[in-house]
Chains A and B, each alone.
Chain A
Amino acid sequence: MFEMYNKKILALSKDQTLAGTFDKPDYESTLTNPLCGDRVRIQLHCDGNHITAVRYQARGCLLCKAACALFASNAQGMDRNDLLRLRLSLEASLKAPPGLDIPLPAGHEIFTVLRTHRNRHSCVLLPYVAAFEAL
């Protein structure tokens, strides 16, 4: 394979552990990226303001699927502010100009390769945006 589709990203994209749906989600959001056709549906169970469980459906590129799996595996315990901080932090790191090294959020280092592929940023950000909008 090659740099962008490295083994870690490929493995994540195939990880179906948290893929699927809840019968009665507490919160839900479906978002489409109009540029590429990626579509994600995020469903959340919450205890008060905090996420207790996530399910997702992703129809999209490998990066989008990998991001969904990564988000879902890390989202437990987060509230809306946590989601926003994570999304903004991920976005800022990905879009940082050359020479300005803003570390990626912990656990998201696999997306380092995307820094030079701005047109793919929306693929990995989609589940984070969808989750925030769900809440």
Chain B
Amino acid sequence: MGFDVANVIGEFPLIRDGIATLHYLDNAATAQVPQCVIEAMTAHDTRSRANVKRAVYHLAEQATLAFDEARAQVGHYLGISDVGEVIFTSGATAGINMLAWSFGQELKPGDEVLLSILEHHSNIVPWQMLRERTGIVLRFLPVDEACRLDLAELERHIGPRTKLVALTHGSNVSGAVTDVASIARCTHEHGALLMLDGAQVAPHGPLDLPSLDVDFYVFSSHKVYGPTGVGVLWGRREYMEKLPPAFGGGEMITSVSLEGSLYEHLPHRFEAGTPPITQAIGLSAALAWVMRQNLEGMQQHLWQLTERALAGLKSIDPMMRRIRILGPSPGEQRLPLISFVLKEAHPHDICQVMNDRHGVALRGGFHCAQPLHDFMGIDGSTRASFAAYNSMNDVDAFLTGVEDCMALLC
């Protein structure tokens, strides 16, 4: 059964009606939102907006119900049954920071956290900050020449002091998808826990966290066709219940006196203050939208876009002397994104030409992955990333733009 991209485009107002010539290929940074998400948020703000969980008037009950249903929808998307394990955050970065703070309270100097060179800054900096506070040791799993995690090195990087392995589920630069099974097995055999940064994988279909055998998972709404300002930290109850809360304030307490406070149970324990209610409802609508799609068809569509782009780049530069494509080779598993280097042209200049002359929106720079770029010996890269509403027309515009860049900038 095919994937009707024209139908999908019709559901995204900015893509359908927005800028006249726009080929939006920066979806790994932020995806666009379908009309149903906008309507869900507007409906809430116009008909059921109130604070949640405490007040007893009808509007508050409606808001609380909508918020609880949003949490349940997230649980459904993640394949988990205990929705108390779903913590709303402001995004994946906030979730990792929260986990680093809370989990870090349990760590002692010399305890180890294993990261990788492939990580986004959001999964490096919080742990560096923890290292500065507590004296833990950070270790970094290397990558291979295709910018995939080098799993052959895994056993050498996990030891008796490893408490947590925190890795990307899929790279926002190379597009490499992590082999979770082997990592989970090795991590747990050593008595450590596993966190995955799912920011780039979550947009591409519902997950099955129990079968992934992970212990913590984060993702952001704005990459999953949802609003900004909300994300999810999921953690197994057996671990989350023992962690101290990262933020204190209203909603996460059962009682407060001048001497001290008693904390709520999951999930409220980790949701201090008024949560992102409208945004959570928007995220719920976005996840529901994804699950309504022909998922196999959508993934096949994204694969075809990516492969066409890869083939096109090879066609432009058959010997690949001027274009360097990062990540797995064509035909190998990768997320629907391509980061590349055009020799003698800076990513910012490429992006400017792409936008000003071709209406193609790309991302240029380190993509918040400077250690990876340092490892590859490059001063940044240019990235095209695809979403459900992208078409072959977008890919062709991208390829035409690359040829133009080579003529103008090199």
Task: Determine if chain A interacts with chain B.
Answer: yes
Task: Bits for B356-388, please: 1 = Cβ < 8 Å to A, else 0.
Answer: 110000001110001001000001100000000
Chain A residues contacting B349 (CB-CB under 8 Å) are: 5, 61-63
User: How far, in Å, is A122 (CB) from chain B's closest CB?
Assistant: 10
Task: Bits for A1-33, please: 1 = Cβ < 8 Å to B, else 0.
Answer: 111110000000000000000000000000000
The answer to whether B347 and A36 touch across the interface, beta carbons within 8 angstroms, is yes
List residues of A (45-86) whose CB comes within 8 Å of B's CBs: 59-64
The answer to whether B370 and A4 touch across the interface, beta carbons within 8 angstroms, is no
State whether the Cβ of A35 lies closer than 8 Å to any Cβ in chain B: yes
Count of chain B residues with a beta carbon within 8 Å of a chain A beta carbon: 17
Distance A64 CA – B349 CA, assembled complex (angstroms): 10
The answer to whether B408 and A62 touch across the interface, beta carbons within 8 angstroms, is no
Chain A residues contacting B365 (CB-CB under 8 Å) are: 35-37
The answer to whether B370 and A123 touch across the interface, beta carbons within 8 angstroms, is no
Distance A35 CA – B348 CA, assembled complex (angstroms): 10
State whether the Cβ of B346 lies closer than 8 Å to any Cβ in chain A: yes
The answer to whether A36 and B380 touch across the interface, beta carbons within 8 angstroms, is yes
8 nearest A-B residue pairs (beta carbon)? A37-B380, A61-B348, A61-B346, A36-B365, A37-B379, A36-B348, A61-B349, A62-B349
Distance A35 CA – B380 CA, assembled complex (angstroms): 9
The answer to whether B348 and A34 touch across the interface, beta carbons within 8 angstroms, is no
The answer to whether A123 and B348 touch across the interface, beta carbons within 8 angstroms, is yes
The answer to whether A5 and B352 touch across the interface, beta carbons within 8 angstroms, is yes
A-B contact sample (20 more), CB < 8 A, given A37-B373, A62-B349, A63-B349: A4-B356, A5-B353, A34-B370, A35-B365, A35-B366, A36-B365, A36-B366, A37-B370, A37-B380, A38-B346, A59-B379, A60-B348, A60-B379, A61-B347, A61-B348, A62-B346, A63-B348, A64-B346, A120-B348, A123-B348
Q: Which residues does A use to contact B, with CB under 8 Å?
A: 1-5, 34-39, 59-64, 120, 123
Grouping DSSP codes into helix (H, G, I), strand (E, B) and loop, the B interface class, with mixed when no group exceeds half, is helix
Q: Which residues does B use to contact A, with CB under 8 Å?
A: 346-349, 352-353, 356-357, 364-366, 370, 373, 379-380, 408-409
Chain B residues contacting A62 (CB-CB under 8 Å) are: 346, 349, 409
The answer to whether B352 and A120 touch across the interface, beta carbons within 8 angstroms, is yes
Chain A residues contacting B348 (CB-CB under 8 Å) are: 36, 38, 60-61, 63, 120, 123
Chain A residues contacting B347 (CB-CB under 8 Å) are: 36-37, 61
User: How far, in Å, is A33 (CB) from chain B's closest CB?
Assistant: 8
The answer to whether B364 and A36 touch across the interface, beta carbons within 8 angstroms, is yes
User: How far, in Å, is B245 (CB) from chain A's closest CB?
Assistant: 31
Q: Which residue of chain B lies nearest to A60 when distances are taken between CB atoms in the complex?
A: B346
Distance A38 CA – B357 CA, assembled complex (angstroms): 23
Distance A44 CA – B366 CA, assembled complex (angstroms): 29
Chain A residues contacting B353 (CB-CB under 8 Å) are: 5
User: How far, in Å, is B351 (CB) from chain A's closest CB?
Assistant: 9
Q: Which of B349, B357, B366 has most A Cβ within 10 Å?
A: B349
Distance A61 CA – B349 CA, assembled complex (angstroms): 6
User: How far, in Å, is B115 (CB) from chain A's closest CB?
Assistant: 18
The answer to whether A37 and B366 touch across the interface, beta carbons within 8 angstroms, is yes
User: How far, in Å, is B341 (CB) from chain A's closest CB?
Assistant: 11
